[in-house]
Amino acid sequence: MDLNPSSQFLILAPLIAVFGLPHGALDLPIAERLWPLEGVSGKLKFIASYVGLILLVIAVWLVAPGVALSAFLAYSALHFSGDWAGTAAPLRWAGGVAAIGAPALLHPTEVTALFGHLAPLPAAAIAADAAALAGALAIIPLALTLAIRRRLSQPVIELMILWIAAWLLPPLLFFGIYFCSLHSIRHYRSSIRRMPSARRALFTAIGLSSIVALAGVSFVLVRSVADPAVPFELGLQAVFIGLAALTVPHMILVERFDRRLFVTRVGQKNTGDGIEPLPPVSA
């Protein structure tokens, strides 16, 4: 598919805003299942802590963008491995790494150029090379599974589709389709059914994701007034630095939620709010 990065971004940004952000916006309802966030003050304390972590990540990115980019890729791979929760560890690892490393391996020049908008070029090149190497290593568990097993399981089929999509699609489109389909929808469906009021959780997710999307658009518009020559770079930074910042508190929260569910499932004493022991969140 022959689309320049700006055209890809015009497709990516609405996909992230409409289909990607709502799954993370379920974090407040999830937090209400974990802790007694009583009244407005309880919710405000949680939101203040959540926003504080977001601002900390953004500050780190502004001070050390190369380090922040590499860290973002690493913890994103860990985060995306949750999409194959319950699968054998090698395949789960291979899935998370492939979501990041497959485009870098198959489209190295384009990925390096994209990373160059997020960090200085030397650091961007190192991050792209490391992602490509990780992608190459992630092929090994999938190849061994295909060689050993005669019957294809759902995770193996998904990983095969992931690699084919990474080969056929430009990197930004690949990420947008993966993030907004398999990752977001799987997490959203897994989380929403645990909410005591699915409708309330849905409206909360829509409201919070709309606020975040508007903040990103406002950032691009304000910066574009000061320097109208770089709207694509500003948009790319708003999306990916924003995702990097949102992912940190989101990962911490989902990990805590999964641990609580695990304690419930194995029959240990649960002193919380009686969360229903459903399968783990695909974060």
Domain extents for the chain? 5-265
- pLDDT attached to residue 238: 82
CB neighbour list of residue 95: distance below 8 Å, 6 or more residues apart: 80, 81, 83, 84, 87, 138, 155, 158, 159, 162
Secondary structure (3-state) at 228: coil
Residues annotated within the binding site are 23, 79, 183, 187
Q: What pTM does this model have?
A: 0.76
Backbone torsions φ then ψ of 270, nearest 5 degrees: -110, 110
Closest C-alpha among 16, 17, 23, 21 to residue 195: 23
Rounded CA separation 18/25 (Å):
12
Q: Which segment of 162-166, 245-249, 268-272 scores lowest on mean pLDDT?
A: 268-272
Q: What is the mean pLDDT of residues 101-124?
A: 94
Of 43 and 157, the one with more pLDDT? 157
- pLDDT attached to residue 233: 78
For CA atoms 34, 248, 246, 102, give the dihedral sign: negative
Residue owning tokens 């802790």 = 35
Q: What is the mean pLDDT of residues 59-79?
A: 93
Rounded CA separation 159/131 (Å):
17
Residues annotated within the binding site for Fe cation are 23, 79, 183, 187
Rounded CA separation 12/174 (Å):
9
CB neighbour list of residue 245: distance below 8 Å, 6 or more residues apart: 53, 54, 55, 57, 58, 61
CB neighbour list of residue 29: distance below 8 Å, 6 or more residues apart: 191, 195, 200, 201, 204, 205
Question: Half-sphere exposure of residue 192, counting CA atoms within 13 Å on the CB side?
Answer: 19
What are the pLDDT digits (tens) for 195-240?
A: 555 565 555 555 655 665 566 556 555 555 555 555 677 778 888 8
What are the pLDDT digits (tens) for 125-158?
A: 999 999 999 999 999 999 999 888 878 888 999 9
Question: Half-sphere exposure of residue 207, counting CA atoms within 13 Å on the CB side?
Answer: 9
Q: Is the pLDDT of residue 17 over 60?
A: yes
Of 267 and 138, the one with more pLDDT? 138
Tell me, what amino acid is at 95? G
Could you tell me the CA-to-CA distances from 214 to 17, 95, 136, 205, 239 in Å, in that order?
A: 9, 31, 37, 14, 12
